[in-house]
Chain A
Amino acid sequence: MHRIENYLTRLYGYAISLARDPETAKDLVQQCAVKSLAAKSVPTDESAYRAWLFVILRNSFLDHVRRNRLTDDLFEPERPDEPSMEYWQGDERLINVLNVKQAMARLRPRDREIIGLVDLAGLSYAEASKVMEVPTGTVMSRISRARARLLDLVDESNVEKLEPRSGRLKKL
Protein backbone atom coordinates (compact mmCIF):
# COMPACT_ATOMS: atom_id res chain seq x y z
CA MET A 1 0.00 0.00 0.00
CA HIS A 2 1.37 3.42 -0.92
CA ARG A 3 1.46 5.90 1.94
CA ILE A 4 -1.00 8.25 0.22
CA GLU A 5 -3.68 5.55 0.41
CA ASN A 6 -3.96 6.14 4.15
CA TYR A 7 -5.08 9.68 3.44
CA LEU A 8 -7.49 9.30 0.54
CA THR A 9 -10.64 9.27 2.68
CA ARG A 10 -9.44 12.23 4.70
CA LEU A 11 -8.46 14.13 1.57
CA TYR A 12 -11.96 13.46 0.27
CA GLY A 13 -13.42 14.86 3.51
CA TYR A 14 -11.46 18.08 3.02
CA ALA A 15 -12.29 18.17 -0.70
CA ILE A 16 -16.02 17.82 -0.12
CA SER A 17 -15.90 20.57 2.50
CA LEU A 18 -14.32 22.85 -0.10
CA ALA A 19 -16.21 21.83 -3.22
CA ARG A 20 -19.52 20.60 -1.78
CA ASP A 21 -19.95 18.41 -4.86
CA PRO A 22 -18.99 14.70 -4.64
CA GLU A 23 -17.76 14.45 -8.25
CA THR A 24 -15.62 17.57 -7.98
CA ALA A 25 -14.32 16.32 -4.64
CA LYS A 26 -13.32 12.98 -6.17
CA ASP A 27 -11.62 14.80 -9.06
CA LEU A 28 -9.69 16.95 -6.60
CA VAL A 29 -8.48 13.89 -4.68
CA GLN A 30 -7.50 12.25 -7.95
CA GLN A 31 -5.53 15.31 -9.03
CA CYS A 32 -3.86 15.42 -5.63
CA ALA A 33 -2.93 11.72 -5.84
CA VAL A 34 -1.48 12.05 -9.31
CA LYS A 35 0.48 15.19 -8.47
CA SER A 36 1.89 13.73 -5.28
CA LEU A 37 2.92 10.47 -6.97
CA ALA A 38 4.61 12.39 -9.76
CA ALA A 39 6.43 14.78 -7.42
CA LYS A 40 10.22 14.69 -7.50
CA SER A 41 10.60 15.53 -3.86
CA VAL A 42 8.29 14.18 -1.16
CA PRO A 43 8.53 15.04 2.56
CA THR A 44 9.72 12.06 4.57
CA ASP A 45 8.32 13.19 7.91
CA GLU A 46 4.72 11.92 8.16
CA SER A 47 3.26 15.13 9.55
CA ALA A 48 4.97 17.23 6.88
CA TYR A 49 3.86 14.74 4.22
CA ARG A 50 0.26 14.98 5.46
CA ALA A 51 0.26 18.78 5.38
CA TRP A 52 1.94 18.71 1.96
CA LEU A 53 -0.86 16.52 0.55
CA PHE A 54 -3.54 18.88 1.84
CA VAL A 55 -1.71 21.89 0.39
CA ILE A 56 -1.69 20.15 -3.00
CA LEU A 57 -5.42 19.51 -2.73
CA ARG A 58 -6.09 23.09 -1.66
CA ASN A 59 -4.11 24.45 -4.61
CA SER A 60 -5.99 22.12 -6.95
CA PHE A 61 -9.25 23.49 -5.60
CA LEU A 62 -8.11 27.08 -6.08
CA ASP A 63 -7.08 26.24 -9.67
CA HIS A 64 -10.52 24.75 -10.16
CA VAL A 65 -12.16 27.92 -8.83
CA ARG A 66 -10.09 30.13 -11.13
CA ARG A 67 -10.48 27.87 -14.15
CA ASN A 68 -14.23 27.78 -13.81
CA ARG A 69 -14.45 31.43 -12.77
CA LEU A 70 -16.27 30.50 -9.61
CA THR A 71 -16.38 32.77 -6.65
CA ASP A 72 -14.93 31.74 -3.38
CA ASP A 73 -14.21 33.73 -0.28
CA LEU A 74 -11.31 31.64 1.05
CA PHE A 75 -8.94 34.53 0.42
CA GLU A 76 -11.21 37.37 1.34
CA PRO A 77 -10.65 39.04 4.69
CA GLU A 78 -12.74 37.68 7.51
CA ARG A 79 -16.00 39.45 8.06
CA PRO A 80 -16.19 41.34 11.31
CA ASP A 81 -19.43 39.72 12.46
CA GLU A 82 -18.74 37.27 15.21
CA PRO A 83 -21.01 34.47 16.30
CA SER A 84 -22.32 34.92 19.81
CA MET A 85 -20.20 32.14 21.38
CA GLU A 86 -22.48 32.23 24.38
CA TYR A 87 -23.29 28.91 25.97
CA TRP A 88 -25.40 27.11 23.41
CA GLN A 89 -28.98 26.87 24.58
CA GLY A 90 -30.28 24.41 22.00
CA ASP A 91 -31.53 20.90 22.56
CA GLU A 92 -28.53 18.59 22.35
CA ARG A 93 -30.63 16.05 20.42
CA LEU A 94 -30.55 18.50 17.51
CA ILE A 95 -26.86 17.80 17.08
CA ASN A 96 -27.24 14.81 14.82
CA VAL A 97 -25.81 13.82 11.46
CA LEU A 98 -28.74 15.03 9.36
CA ASN A 99 -29.02 18.46 10.97
CA VAL A 100 -25.28 18.97 10.95
CA LYS A 101 -25.09 17.99 7.28
CA GLN A 102 -27.76 20.55 6.41
CA ALA A 103 -26.10 23.22 8.52
CA MET A 104 -22.69 22.51 6.97
CA ALA A 105 -24.15 23.26 3.53
CA ARG A 106 -25.11 26.73 4.76
CA LEU A 107 -21.74 27.59 6.29
CA ARG A 108 -19.39 30.01 4.65
CA PRO A 109 -16.54 28.47 2.63
CA ARG A 110 -13.94 29.67 5.12
CA ASP A 111 -15.78 28.00 8.01
CA ARG A 112 -16.32 24.82 6.02
CA GLU A 113 -12.64 24.70 5.19
CA ILE A 114 -11.42 24.76 8.78
CA ILE A 115 -14.03 22.19 9.81
CA GLY A 116 -12.97 20.07 6.85
CA LEU A 117 -9.34 20.21 7.93
CA VAL A 118 -9.82 19.61 11.64
CA ASP A 119 -12.95 17.46 11.90
CA LEU A 120 -13.08 15.63 8.58
CA ALA A 121 -9.40 15.33 7.79
CA GLY A 122 -8.32 15.05 11.41
CA LEU A 123 -5.40 17.47 11.13
CA SER A 124 -3.93 19.04 14.23
CA TYR A 125 -4.06 22.82 14.61
CA ALA A 126 -0.38 22.99 13.69
CA GLU A 127 -0.92 20.97 10.51
CA ALA A 128 -4.01 22.97 9.56
CA SER A 129 -2.04 26.19 10.07
CA LYS A 130 0.57 24.97 7.57
CA VAL A 131 -2.10 24.15 5.00
CA MET A 132 -3.84 27.52 5.35
CA GLU A 133 -0.60 29.46 5.92
CA VAL A 134 -1.90 31.15 9.06
CA PRO A 135 -0.64 31.08 12.67
CA THR A 136 -1.82 28.23 14.94
CA GLY A 137 -3.68 30.75 17.10
CA THR A 138 -5.72 31.76 14.07
CA VAL A 139 -6.68 28.14 13.52
CA MET A 140 -7.83 27.96 17.12
CA SER A 141 -10.02 31.06 16.69
CA ARG A 142 -11.34 29.99 13.30
CA ILE A 143 -12.40 26.53 14.38
CA SER A 144 -14.17 28.00 17.42
CA ARG A 145 -16.01 30.55 15.32
CA ALA A 146 -16.88 27.98 12.67
CA ARG A 147 -18.33 25.58 15.23
CA ALA A 148 -20.21 28.39 16.97
CA ARG A 149 -21.79 29.35 13.62
CA LEU A 150 -22.53 25.72 12.88
CA LEU A 151 -24.28 25.33 16.23
CA ASP A 152 -26.27 28.51 15.55
CA LEU A 153 -27.35 27.11 12.17
CA VAL A 154 -28.26 23.76 13.72
CA ASP A 155 -30.40 25.61 16.22
CA GLU A 156 -31.98 27.96 13.64
CA SER A 157 -32.81 25.30 11.11
CA ASN A 158 -34.57 23.08 13.58
CA VAL A 159 -36.44 25.29 15.91
CA GLU A 160 -39.67 26.65 14.58
CA LYS A 161 -41.60 28.47 17.18
CA LEU A 162 -45.17 27.38 17.15
CA GLU A 163 -47.54 30.23 17.72
CA PRO A 164 -50.10 29.38 20.35
CA ARG A 165 -53.40 28.69 18.70
CA SER A 166 -56.22 30.91 19.58
CA GLY A 167 -59.87 30.13 19.18
CA ARG A 168 -61.51 26.85 18.72
CA LEU A 169 -60.70 24.21 16.18
CA LYS A 170 -62.92 24.32 13.19
CA LYS A 171 -65.44 21.63 13.10
CA LEU A 172 -64.92 19.30 10.18
Chain B
Amino acid sequence: MARKQTFERSNAFADGELDRQGRSDVLKDAAEDPRLARELSNLERLKSAISDSVDAPDMNLAAMTGKHGGHRSWRRPVMAMAACLVLFVAAGLAWSVIGPGVGSGRSNHGVPVAWAIAVHNSWVKEDAPSQTRAILRPANARLNAHVPDLSAAKLHIAHIGESRTLDGLPAMVIGYRGTRGCRITLLIDGSPAEPGGKAIFFKVDKLIAMVWQAGSLRHVILAEGMAEARFRLIAETVRRTSLERLPVDDATRMALARSRAKSPPCAA
Protein backbone atom coordinates (compact mmCIF):
# COMPACT_ATOMS: atom_id res chain seq x y z
CA MET B 1 0.00 0.00 0.00
CA ALA B 2 1.36 3.42 -0.97
CA ARG B 3 2.55 5.57 1.87
CA LYS B 4 -0.07 8.26 1.14
CA GLN B 5 -2.86 5.71 1.48
CA THR B 6 -1.35 4.32 4.68
CA PHE B 7 -1.25 7.79 6.20
CA GLU B 8 -4.83 8.49 5.13
CA ARG B 9 -5.88 5.20 6.70
CA SER B 10 -4.07 6.11 9.94
CA ASN B 11 -5.92 9.42 10.01
CA ALA B 12 -9.24 7.74 9.33
CA PHE B 13 -8.49 5.33 12.18
CA ALA B 14 -7.70 8.22 14.54
CA ASP B 15 -10.95 9.93 13.52
CA GLY B 16 -13.05 6.82 14.09
CA GLU B 17 -13.98 6.67 10.40
CA LEU B 18 -13.07 3.05 9.72
CA ASP B 19 -15.45 0.14 9.96
CA ARG B 20 -14.80 -2.85 12.22
CA GLN B 21 -12.72 -4.69 9.61
CA GLY B 22 -10.69 -1.58 8.81
CA ARG B 23 -9.94 -0.95 12.48
CA SER B 24 -8.97 -4.55 12.96
CA ASP B 25 -6.59 -4.39 9.99
CA VAL B 26 -4.93 -1.25 11.29
CA LEU B 27 -4.45 -2.73 14.76
CA LYS B 28 -3.02 -5.90 13.26
CA ASP B 29 -0.59 -3.94 11.10
CA ALA B 30 0.37 -1.70 14.02
CA ALA B 31 1.21 -4.74 16.11
CA GLU B 32 3.76 -5.73 13.47
CA ASP B 33 5.05 -2.29 12.55
CA PRO B 34 6.37 -0.06 15.33
CA ARG B 35 6.50 2.94 12.96
CA LEU B 36 2.77 2.62 12.30
CA ALA B 37 2.07 2.18 16.02
CA ARG B 38 4.04 5.36 16.73
CA GLU B 39 2.18 7.18 13.97
CA LEU B 40 -1.19 6.26 15.46
CA SER B 41 -0.01 7.41 18.87
CA ASN B 42 1.27 10.70 17.40
CA LEU B 43 -2.03 11.33 15.64
CA GLU B 44 -3.89 10.80 18.92
CA ARG B 45 -1.54 13.30 20.57
CA LEU B 46 -1.96 15.75 17.72
CA LYS B 47 -5.76 15.57 17.78
CA SER B 48 -5.76 16.04 21.52
CA ALA B 49 -3.37 19.03 21.33
CA ILE B 50 -5.46 20.63 18.57
CA SER B 51 -8.70 20.34 20.51
CA ASP B 52 -6.99 21.75 23.62
CA SER B 53 -5.41 24.62 21.69
CA VAL B 54 -8.59 26.67 21.49
CA ASP B 55 -9.85 28.49 24.59
CA ALA B 56 -13.51 28.85 23.83
CA PRO B 57 -15.17 31.75 25.64
CA ASP B 58 -18.43 31.31 27.52
CA MET B 59 -20.89 30.92 24.67
CA ASN B 60 -24.20 31.89 26.20
CA LEU B 61 -26.98 31.98 23.64
CA ALA B 62 -29.22 34.44 25.48
CA ALA B 63 -26.33 36.87 25.95
CA MET B 64 -25.21 36.27 22.40
CA THR B 65 -28.55 36.91 20.78
CA GLY B 66 -29.10 39.89 23.06
CA LYS B 67 -25.77 41.43 22.11
CA HIS B 68 -26.11 44.40 19.80
CA GLY B 69 -24.03 47.39 18.92
CA GLY B 70 -25.02 50.63 17.24
CA HIS B 71 -24.17 49.38 13.80
CA ARG B 72 -26.26 46.26 14.28
CA SER B 73 -29.58 47.84 15.23
CA TRP B 74 -31.28 46.12 12.30
CA ARG B 75 -30.78 42.83 14.08
CA ARG B 76 -32.78 43.77 17.18
CA PRO B 77 -36.16 42.40 16.10
CA VAL B 78 -34.56 39.15 15.04
CA MET B 79 -32.65 38.90 18.32
CA ALA B 80 -35.75 39.62 20.38
CA MET B 81 -37.59 36.92 18.48
CA ALA B 82 -34.67 34.54 18.95
CA ALA B 83 -34.51 35.24 22.69
CA CYS B 84 -38.28 34.60 23.05
CA LEU B 85 -37.89 31.37 21.13
CA VAL B 86 -35.03 30.27 23.36
CA LEU B 87 -36.99 31.03 26.54
CA PHE B 88 -40.03 29.21 25.21
CA VAL B 89 -38.06 26.12 24.24
CA ALA B 90 -36.05 26.15 27.49
CA ALA B 91 -39.21 26.40 29.59
CA GLY B 92 -40.80 23.52 27.72
CA LEU B 93 -37.71 21.39 28.07
CA ALA B 94 -37.37 22.16 31.78
CA TRP B 95 -40.97 21.05 32.36
CA SER B 96 -40.61 17.87 30.36
CA VAL B 97 -37.39 16.83 32.10
CA ILE B 98 -37.65 18.13 35.64
CA GLY B 99 -41.36 18.68 36.07
CA PRO B 100 -42.66 15.11 36.28
CA GLY B 101 -39.85 14.04 38.64
CA VAL B 102 -40.30 17.01 40.95
CA GLY B 103 -44.07 16.76 41.08
CA SER B 104 -44.37 13.08 41.79
CA GLY B 105 -41.08 12.42 43.58
CA ARG B 106 -40.54 9.75 40.94
CA SER B 107 -37.44 7.71 41.43
CA ASN B 108 -35.60 4.95 39.64
CA HIS B 109 -33.93 2.25 41.69
CA GLY B 110 -34.00 4.46 44.76
CA VAL B 111 -32.44 7.41 42.96
CA PRO B 112 -34.50 10.59 43.15
CA VAL B 113 -34.28 11.53 39.49
CA ALA B 114 -35.29 15.17 39.93
CA TRP B 115 -32.61 15.66 42.59
CA ALA B 116 -29.96 14.05 40.40
CA ILE B 117 -30.94 16.25 37.43
CA ALA B 118 -31.04 19.37 39.59
CA VAL B 119 -27.52 18.66 40.89
CA HIS B 120 -26.33 17.85 37.37
CA ASN B 121 -27.67 21.18 36.10
CA SER B 122 -26.47 23.20 39.08
CA TRP B 123 -22.78 23.29 38.16
CA VAL B 124 -23.19 24.00 34.43
CA LYS B 125 -21.60 27.47 34.52
CA GLU B 126 -18.56 26.56 36.52
CA ASP B 127 -15.09 26.12 35.16
CA ALA B 128 -12.36 23.87 36.45
CA PRO B 129 -11.44 24.83 40.00
CA SER B 130 -7.89 26.06 40.20
CA GLN B 131 -7.17 24.09 43.36
CA THR B 132 -8.74 20.86 42.15
CA ARG B 133 -6.25 18.70 43.98
CA ALA B 134 -6.57 20.62 47.21
CA ILE B 135 -10.34 20.40 47.12
CA LEU B 136 -10.30 16.79 46.06
CA ARG B 137 -8.32 15.48 48.96
CA PRO B 138 -10.51 16.46 51.94
CA ALA B 139 -13.74 15.67 50.10
CA ASN B 140 -12.25 12.38 49.07
CA ALA B 141 -11.16 11.62 52.59
CA ARG B 142 -14.48 12.55 54.17
CA LEU B 143 -16.54 10.15 52.07
CA ASN B 144 -13.61 7.83 51.42
CA ALA B 145 -14.59 7.95 47.76
CA HIS B 146 -12.47 7.25 44.73
CA VAL B 147 -12.55 10.01 42.10
CA PRO B 148 -11.43 8.62 38.74
CA ASP B 149 -9.36 10.42 36.16
CA LEU B 150 -11.38 10.50 32.92
CA SER B 151 -8.95 12.60 30.89
CA ALA B 152 -8.57 9.75 28.39
CA ALA B 153 -12.23 10.32 27.51
CA LYS B 154 -11.43 14.05 27.27
CA LEU B 155 -13.52 14.69 30.34
CA HIS B 156 -11.92 16.93 32.94
CA ILE B 157 -13.07 17.75 36.43
CA ALA B 158 -14.91 21.06 36.26
CA HIS B 159 -16.71 21.00 39.58
CA ILE B 160 -16.28 19.46 42.98
CA GLY B 161 -18.90 20.20 45.57
CA GLU B 162 -21.26 18.83 48.13
CA SER B 163 -24.99 18.41 48.19
CA ARG B 164 -27.56 16.66 50.35
CA THR B 165 -29.81 13.84 49.24
CA LEU B 166 -33.55 14.17 49.78
CA ASP B 167 -32.98 12.11 52.93
CA GLY B 168 -30.50 14.71 54.18
CA LEU B 169 -27.39 12.57 53.69
CA PRO B 170 -24.23 14.35 52.55
CA ALA B 171 -23.37 13.70 48.91
CA MET B 172 -20.20 14.41 47.03
CA VAL B 173 -20.70 15.93 43.57
CA ILE B 174 -18.02 15.64 40.90
CA GLY B 175 -18.69 17.31 37.58
CA TYR B 176 -16.72 16.41 34.47
CA ARG B 177 -16.77 18.54 31.37
CA GLY B 178 -15.73 17.57 27.84
CA THR B 179 -14.71 19.65 24.87
CA ARG B 180 -17.77 18.91 22.74
CA GLY B 181 -20.60 19.91 25.03
CA CYS B 182 -20.55 16.76 27.17
CA ARG B 183 -20.99 16.87 30.93
CA ILE B 184 -21.05 14.00 33.35
CA THR B 185 -21.98 14.18 37.01
CA LEU B 186 -20.84 11.62 39.55
CA LEU B 187 -22.81 11.62 42.81
CA ILE B 188 -21.50 9.67 45.78
CA ASP B 189 -23.49 9.36 48.99
CA GLY B 190 -24.18 6.94 51.80
CA SER B 191 -27.66 5.82 50.73
CA PRO B 192 -28.10 2.07 50.19
CA ALA B 193 -28.29 0.83 46.60
CA GLU B 194 -28.06 -2.59 44.95
CA PRO B 195 -25.54 -4.54 47.04
CA GLY B 196 -22.42 -6.18 45.65
CA GLY B 197 -21.49 -3.48 43.18
CA LYS B 198 -24.07 -4.68 40.64
CA ALA B 199 -24.82 -1.87 38.24
CA ILE B 200 -28.31 -0.73 37.33
CA PHE B 201 -28.59 1.28 34.19
CA PHE B 202 -31.58 3.45 33.36
CA LYS B 203 -32.80 6.23 31.09
CA VAL B 204 -35.29 9.01 31.64
CA ASP B 205 -35.96 11.17 28.58
CA LYS B 206 -32.49 12.27 27.43
CA LEU B 207 -30.98 11.53 30.80
CA ILE B 208 -28.89 8.41 30.97
CA ALA B 209 -27.66 7.10 34.32
CA MET B 210 -26.15 4.20 36.18
CA VAL B 211 -26.27 3.43 39.88
CA TRP B 212 -24.23 0.97 41.92
CA GLN B 213 -22.87 0.37 45.39
CA ALA B 214 -19.15 0.34 46.17
CA GLY B 215 -18.46 -0.46 49.79
CA SER B 216 -20.81 1.63 51.89
CA LEU B 217 -21.26 4.28 49.21
CA ARG B 218 -23.92 4.63 46.56
CA HIS B 219 -22.60 5.93 43.26
CA VAL B 220 -24.78 7.57 40.62
CA ILE B 221 -23.32 8.69 37.33
CA LEU B 222 -25.43 10.58 34.84
CA ALA B 223 -25.25 12.53 31.61
CA GLU B 224 -27.67 14.09 29.20
CA GLY B 225 -27.63 13.53 25.46
CA MET B 226 -24.49 11.41 25.45
CA ALA B 227 -24.20 8.46 23.03
CA GLU B 228 -25.31 5.41 25.00
CA ALA B 229 -22.33 3.22 24.09
CA ARG B 230 -19.89 5.92 25.18
CA PHE B 231 -21.76 6.55 28.41
CA ARG B 232 -21.86 2.85 29.24
CA LEU B 233 -18.10 2.53 28.76
CA ILE B 234 -17.39 5.59 30.93
CA ALA B 235 -19.86 4.49 33.60
CA GLU B 236 -18.45 0.96 33.68
CA THR B 237 -14.92 2.39 33.94
CA VAL B 238 -15.93 4.57 36.88
CA ARG B 239 -17.73 1.65 38.54
CA ARG B 240 -14.72 -0.61 38.18
CA THR B 241 -12.31 1.99 39.55
CA SER B 242 -14.65 2.61 42.50
CA LEU B 243 -14.63 -1.10 43.34
CA GLU B 244 -10.95 -1.78 42.67
CA ARG B 245 -9.71 1.66 43.78
CA LEU B 246 -7.12 1.61 41.06
CA PRO B 247 -6.38 4.16 38.34
CA VAL B 248 -7.74 3.60 34.84
CA ASP B 249 -5.44 1.15 33.04
CA ASP B 250 -3.85 1.84 29.65
CA ALA B 251 -6.14 -0.46 27.65
CA THR B 252 -9.22 1.22 29.12
CA ARG B 253 -7.75 4.67 28.48
CA MET B 254 -7.28 3.70 24.85
CA ALA B 255 -10.85 2.37 24.66
CA LEU B 256 -12.19 5.58 26.19
CA ALA B 257 -10.31 7.70 23.67
CA ARG B 258 -11.56 5.59 20.77
CA SER B 259 -15.10 5.65 22.03
CA ARG B 260 -14.98 9.43 22.18
CA ALA B 261 -13.61 9.63 18.64
CA LYS B 262 -16.42 7.42 17.37
CA SER B 263 -19.22 9.13 19.27
CA PRO B 264 -21.13 12.21 18.23
CA PRO B 265 -20.98 15.23 20.52
CA CYS B 266 -23.51 15.40 23.32
CA ALA B 267 -26.92 16.78 22.44
CA ALA B 268 -28.82 17.58 25.63
Q: Which residues on A are within 8 Å of B, measured CB to CB?
A: 1-13, 16, 22, 26, 29-30, 33-34, 37-38, 46-47, 82, 85-88, 92, 95-97, 99-101, 104, 115, 118-120, 122, 124-125, 140-141, 143-144, 147-148, 150-151
Contact = CB atoms under 8 A, between A and B. Distances in A.
Given A88-B42, A95-B46, A38 B82 contact: yes
Given A12-B56, A150-B46, 6 more contacts: A6-B268, A9-B56, A37-B65, A37-B85, A95-B45, A141-B8
The 7 A-B residue pairs whose C-beta atoms are closest, nearest first, are A8-B59, A37-B82, A100-B49, A101-B53, A119-B50, A95-B45, A144-B8
B86 interface: yes
Contacts of B35: 87
A34 B265 contact: no
Interface residues of B, number: 49
Contact of B50 (A5, A12, A115): A115
B239 to A, nearest CB: 26
Interface in B6-26: 7-8, 11-12, 15, 17
Contacts of A3: 267
A2 B15 contact: no
Contact of A124 (B4, B17, B93): B17
Interface stretch (B73-81, B164-172, B243-251): B73-81
A104 B46 CA distance: 11
B45 A92 contact: yes
B181 A9 contact: yes
Given A9-B181, A46-B267, A124-B17, A2 B89 contact: yes
A3 B41 CA distance: 34
A99 B53 CA distance: 9
23 contacts: A2-B61, A3-B267, A4-B61, A7-B181, A9-B180, A10-B180, A10-B181, A10-B265, A22-B57, A26-B57, A33-B82, A37-B81, A47-B264, A85-B7, A87-B38, A87-B39, A92-B38, A95-B42, A104-B50, A125-B15, A140-B12, A140-B17, A147-B11
A14 to B, nearest CB: 10
B260 to A, nearest CB: 9
Interface of B: 3-4, 7-8, 11-12, 15, 17, 35, 38-39, 41-43, 45-47, 49-54, 56-57, 59, 61, 64-65, 67, 75, 78-79, 81-82, 85-86, 89-90, 93, 179-181, 225, 264-268
B11 A140 contact: yes
Contacts of A47: 264
Contacts of B11: 140, 143-144, 147
A8 B46 CA distance: 23
Contacts of A22: 57
A118 B65 contact: no
A151 B42 contact: yes
Given A12-B54, A87-B39, A1 B265 contact: no
Contacts of B264: 46-47, 122
Given A5-B61, A7-B181, A85-B3, A34 B75 contact: yes
Contacts of B4: 82, 85, 144
A147 B17 contact: no
A7 B180 CA distance: 8
A101 B50 CA distance: 7
Given A9-B180, A34-B82, A148-B7, A119 B267 contact: no
